Chains A and B, each alone.
Chain A
Amino acid sequence: MKKGNVTILASILAIALVAAGVGAGTMAYFSDTEKSIGNTFTSGILDMEKVSFAHVAFDNWKPGDTGDIVIELKNTGDYDIKYLVMRDDNYQVLKNWDLGYAIEILSITEYSTKPTGSYTQVSYVDGATYEGWLVGQPGVIHDEHLSLKEFFAGFPVGYHGANDIWDVVTGWSNFDTRPEIPAIAVGHYYKMVIHLQFWEPKLPQDGYQDSSISFDWVVMGTHADKTEIEGYFP
């Protein structure tokens, strides 16, 4: 073979090799830059902001009084929030009896909100059916009501646990189970309203007079769905 032909052949070979390498690299690069987690790269930040969830205080409660705890969060980060977990922390009985047992959860309602402000109700759980979530679990001390105390002791659905265990509050907050609402999209809102009532009169609630409790209500959001971060929760 002439020397010139060898040179040409070597050049063509080099071009082929480089092209193959660049092709593979480019494919890998573009599959990486998709925003998701797993075997791909992600960057940016995940950030939630409280819209109305700063301080939940109910004072001078009397039997029969009702009130709402409203948890409203906005996804202000770069990633869709795919999983929300909650727990209580620093639960303290400040005076007299543990008032947590006397506060009954009547219902929990969840909403998904678009940046435009339009609300969609995505779930409603009535207190009566809620009771079924905790049947047979430790920490349930009476039969008729799901109290705030029991709710904290074993956040329904998912794990039962003590205070240091994170848990999913409703089926919806693990967005995987609701494919039609895949996540709290960037810029979108999430709202949960927990409707509470102090026990109706004529129940033996007098001992709760002047009782008080305090607690922190903690909510965590992640960009991974539950299966992707298995092992991350205790």
Chain B
Amino acid sequence: MKITSLIKTTALTVICLLLVIPILIYGFPFLVGADGSYTVMSGSMSPALRPGDLVIVKGEEPVNVGDVVTVESGEFTYTHRVVEKIEGDRFRLKGDANEDPDPNLVEASQIIGKVILVFPFSHLYTPYGFASALLVPAALIIGKQVYTIHQSTKRRNRMETMRWRRKSHSALDTGTLLLALILTVSTTRIIAPHFIGGSSSYFSDIEWATGSFRAGIWEVGATVDIDPDTLNLVSQGKWITVYAVIETVYDEKAIDVSTVKLNGVIKAEWGDVQDNGCLMVKFDRASVIELIPEGVDEVTLTVSGEFTDGVRFTGSDTITIIG
């Protein structure tokens, strides 16, 4: 009888302590040497921390990769895991349930502390948890009290009254007290975060695309003047001279004269870029005359060439043919 009673008392004490200790630490984190207690408000750290869990936070060094830390950022407090330590005492954090790390880096001074203890109270926020921690104990207590009231107002004969008086009929028996304790703890946990110590956390997701642009190669336009303007097929002469002004930001000195051609076939005999940026090249007159179809009054000739880096230019001029 005595041993049973001892076991009963011990079990009861343990249960009471298990219920009371988290609430005590929640209210007075310094009891375990911690610096703060926070209620997890959102699920971005699932499954390690679920909404409703109670985290106890201690400001201790060093903060390492893998630690779960509570951070103060403006008015905003959140709890995420350290995934990278960056030079200059900065940290990259990530919510376990987020696909990507947080976009901003956290300074060491913003870290309130590491999570050293988690009390899993999240079940209180599920319908079953809410029922078992709040509604069922409440129903049991109320049921018990209704029964007690019913019993004490019941009419009894003499024998029954004798038996009734021999028993204890306190409204506050051990079972009721235990249920009341459960109820108090649950209610505290559900109501308190509305007023104190919530550690929010945000959900975010990042998507990205790689982009690239590559410019092609195109021909640069040139204003071309062919000299002579009128070509007399029977007169004598050695050269056809071409002047070309190229509309570009390039340095015309970078034109490779050896690439300059007339109608894409006749190579320039010689030439250079004058000080005013104008290209002057000379073509063999006899070769140019060979290009001109018989019987035409005028002909358009095209000059093209390249800069030393491969950029091409092109331009045309029309000359009159006589003779």
Interface residues of A (CB under 8 A from B): 3-4, 7-8, 10-15, 18-19, 21-22, 24-26, 28-29, 31-33, 37-50, 53-63, 69, 71, 73, 77, 79, 85, 89, 94-95, 99-100, 102-103, 148, 166, 198, 201-202, 204, 206-224, 228-234
A149 to B250, CA, bound (A): 22
Among B46, B200, B212, B311, find the residue whose CB has the most chain A CB atoms closer than 10 A.
Answer: B212
B293 interface hit (Cβ, 8 Å): no
Q: Are B170 and A216 in contact (CB under 8 A)?
A: no
Q: Are A63 and B218 in contact (CB under 8 A)?
A: yes
**What are 27 A-B pairs with beta-carbon distances under 8 A?**
A3-B169, A4-B153, A7-B152, A7-B170, A10-B170, A11-B145, A12-B145, A14-B176, A15-B146, A25-B186, A25-B190, A43-B50, A45-B43, A53-B207, A56-B210, A59-B214, A60-B214, A61-B213, A100-B213, A214-B210, A218-B208, A222-B203, A223-B202, A229-B202, A231-B75, A232-B76, A234-B104
Given A25-B191, A234-B104, A60–B216 Cβ distance below 8 Å?
yes
Given A21-B184, A25-B187, A220-B205, A99–B213 Cβ distance below 8 Å?
yes
Interface segment among B23-31, B135-143, B279-287: the answer is B135-143
A207 to B52, CA, bound (A): 61
Q: Which residues of B contact A73 (CB under 8 A)?
A: 207
Contact string against A for B residues 226-257, beta-carbon threshold 8 Å, 1 for contact and 0 otherwise = 00000000000000000000011110000000
Q: Are B212 and A214 in contact (CB under 8 A)?
A: yes
Interface residues of B (CB under 8 A from A): 41-44, 46, 50-52, 73-76, 97-100, 102-104, 124-125, 130, 134-135, 138, 141-142, 145-146, 148-149, 152-153, 169-172, 176, 180, 183-184, 186-187, 190-191, 193-194, 198, 200, 202-218, 220-221, 247-250, 310-311
Q: How many Å from the CB of A72 to the closest CB on chain B? A: 10
Q: Which residues of B contact A218 (CB under 8 A)?
A: 206-208
Q: How many Å from the CB of B150 to the closest CB on chain A? A: 10
Given A18-B180, A41-B125, A232-B104, A77–B205 Cβ distance below 8 Å?
yes
Q: Are B202 and A26 in contact (CB under 8 A)?
A: no
| Top 8 A-B pairs, shortest CB-CB distance | A231-B74, A46-B203, A10-B171, A43-B43, A60-B216, A11-B145, A56-B211, A212-B214
A63 to B221, CA, bound (A): 13
Q: Which residues of A contact B209 (CB under 8 A)?
A: 50, 53-56, 71, 216-217
Q: Which residues of B contact A39 (CB under 8 A)?
A: 41, 193-194, 198
Smallest Cβ-Cβ distance to A198: which chain B residue: B215
Smallest Cβ-Cβ distance to B130: which chain A residue: A29
Q: Which residues of A contact B43 (CB under 8 A)?
A: 42-45
Q: Are A11 and B205 in contact (CB under 8 A)?
A: no
Q: Which residues of B contact A3 (CB under 8 A)?
A: 169
Other A-B pairs, 9, CB within 8 Å; known A37-B200, A43-B51: A8-B153, A22-B134, A42-B42, A58-B213, A62-B218, A219-B207, A220-B204, A220-B206, A222-B202
Q: Which residues of A contact B130 (CB under 8 A)?
A: 29
Q: Are A213 and B212 in contact (CB under 8 A)?
A: yes
Q: Which residues of B contact A22 (CB under 8 A)?
A: 134-135, 138, 183, 187
Q: How many Å from the CB of A14 to the closest CB on chain B? A: 5
> Which of B52, B134, B170, B220 contacts A41, CB < 8 Å?
B52
Q: Are B212 and A56 in contact (CB under 8 A)?
A: yes
Q: Are B202 and A37 in contact (CB under 8 A)?
A: yes
Q: Are B203 and A77 in contact (CB under 8 A)?
A: yes
Q: Are A166 and B103 in contact (CB under 8 A)?
A: yes
> Which of B190, B200, B207, B249 contacts A206, CB < 8 Å?
B249
A43 to B204, CA, bound (A): 13
Q: Are A231 and B51 in contact (CB under 8 A)?
A: no
Smallest Cβ-Cβ distance to B133: which chain A residue: A25
A188 to B247, CA, bound (A): 51
> Which of B42, B46, B134 contacts A37, CB < 8 Å?
B42
Q: Which residues of A contact B208 (CB under 8 A)?
A: 89, 216-219
Q: Are B46 and A43 in contact (CB under 8 A)?
A: yes
Among B50, B75, B216, find the residue whose CB has the most chain A CB atoms closer than 10 A.
Answer: B216
Q: Are A214 and B211 in contact (CB under 8 A)?
A: yes
Smallest Cβ-Cβ distance to B137: which chain A residue: A18
> Which of A15, A33, A56, A62 contacts B216, CB < 8 Å?
A62
Given A28-B190, A53-B207, A73-B207, A224–B142 Cβ distance below 8 Å?
no
Q: How many Å from the CB of B169 to the closest CB on chain A? A: 5
> Which of A11, A25, A58, A213 contacts B134, CB < 8 Å?
A25
Q: Are A57 and B194 in contact (CB under 8 A)?
A: no
